[in-house]
Amino acid sequence: MTRKKRRMIWQIINGLAIGLVVSYLGLCLFAVFFSDRMIFPAPEPSYTDSKDIVKLPLRNGNEIATLYLENPDAKYTILYSHGNGEDIGMIRPFLEQLRDQGFSVLAYDYPGYGISDGRPTEQGALEAAANAFSYLAMIRDVDPDKVILFGRSLGSGPSWALAAKKPVAGMIIDGGFSSTFRVVTKKKIVPWDKFDNLALVDQVQCPILLMHGGQDRTVPFAHAEELFTAYDGPKSSLFIAEAGHNNLVEAAGPRYWDAIRQFTESLK
């Protein structure tokens, strides 16, 4: 090989390496500055302030909105963390279904959602979930051992984080992810991530119920498989082959509520 050809090959390799580095740095910068816009597409508020809404303070002085639906006969209280394209007004019919299934229910809005103050961030969502949990324990006098965390899609993040820190009865995840970045990249390719549920599996000790649609195009079914395989504690699943991301309840029909009932009955 001539010196000229070697130089040409080296220039091509060097150019490719520089291109890869620039692309990787660009991806990292995008993750830092723009990922929140993709993770938190907060809709316009679907409700207004009312006597049903309880505001809880955050450390920065902002307040989050919560909705508590009491069932006097309930053994367990569900702490519900919703998806990224909805607020507690939009999901109230489903929350009422949960109450009618025998639970008391507390749902909350992340900062920047509904009539909650501020703008949505990972840290803000985690703090909101922690404050809602404290509200149940300190104001509603609910034993943490009688709390079931329920995370829907994005809400799987705050739910896994709480379960890693708090003694709860159990956790239900509907359409959850291994992490937000892996929804796009499939593998962890940046040094950090947001709502990294997979990293928390060893810290969670409560029974879990994972529910997911086999045709989910928003959070691919592989995320549920990965979490279910990685979790070494008591676990059960409801995987509906024909369901997508937003129609699991409809596609599963009675199986949805049966799975929740059987899971609840299995708790100590």
**Residue carrying the six token digits 């959070």:** 219
**Residue type present at position 138:** M
- Choosing from 87, 109, 196, 216, the catalytic residue is 216
In sequence order, what are the residues at sequence separation of 6 or more whose Cβ sits closer than 8 angstroms to the Cβ of residue 236? Answer: 207, 208, 209, 210, 259, 262, 263, 266
Active site annotation includes 52 = no
Architecture of domain 34-266: 3-Layer(aba) Sandwich (3.40)
Q: What pLDDT, on a 0 to 100 scale, did the predictor assign at position 17?
A: 44
Q: What pLDDT, on a 0 to 100 scale, did the predictor assign at position 14?
A: 52
Asked if 227 contacts 68 with a C-beta cutoff of 8 angstroms, the reply is no
Among 111, 145, 138, residue whose Cα is nearest residue 125: 111
Q: How far apart are CA 53 and CA 47, in angstroms?
A: 10
Q: What pLDDT, on a 0 to 100 scale, did the predictor assign at position 191?
A: 61
For the entire predicted model, the pTM comes to 0.87
Q: What pLDDT, on a 0 to 100 scale, did the predictor assign at position 159?
A: 98
Active site annotation includes 266 = no
Query: Structure tokens of 60?
Result: 């920065």
Q: What pLDDT, on a 0 to 100 scale, did the predictor assign at position 20?
A: 38
- Choosing from 104, 116, 153, 179, the catalytic residue is 153
Query: Structure tokens of 219?
Result: 């959070």
For residue 131, the Cα-to-chain-centroid distance in whole angstroms is: 16
Q: How far apart are CA 175 and CA 224, in angstroms?
A: 8
What is 147-193 written as a DSSP string? Answer: EEEEEEGGGHHHHHHHHTTS--SEEEEES--S-HHHHHHSS--SS--
Q: What pLDDT, on a 0 to 100 scale, did the predictor assign at position 25?
A: 41
Q: What pLDDT, on a 0 to 100 scale, did the predictor assign at position 24?
A: 38
Query: Structure tokens of 204?
Result: 């969670």
Q: What pLDDT, on a 0 to 100 scale, did the predictor assign at position 193?
A: 78
**Residue carrying the six token digits 């990224």:** 84
Per-residue pLDDT of the chain (268 residues; tens, 9 = 90+): 565 555 554 554 554 444 433 343 444 444 444 456 668 899 999 999 999 999 999 999 999 999 999 999 999 999 999 999 999 999 999 999 999 999 999 999 999 999 999 999 999 999 999 999 999 999 999 999 999 999 999 999 999 999 999 999 999 999 999 998 777 666 666 666 789 999 999 999 999 999 999 999 999 999 999 999 999 999 999 999 999 999 999 999 999 999 999 999 999 7
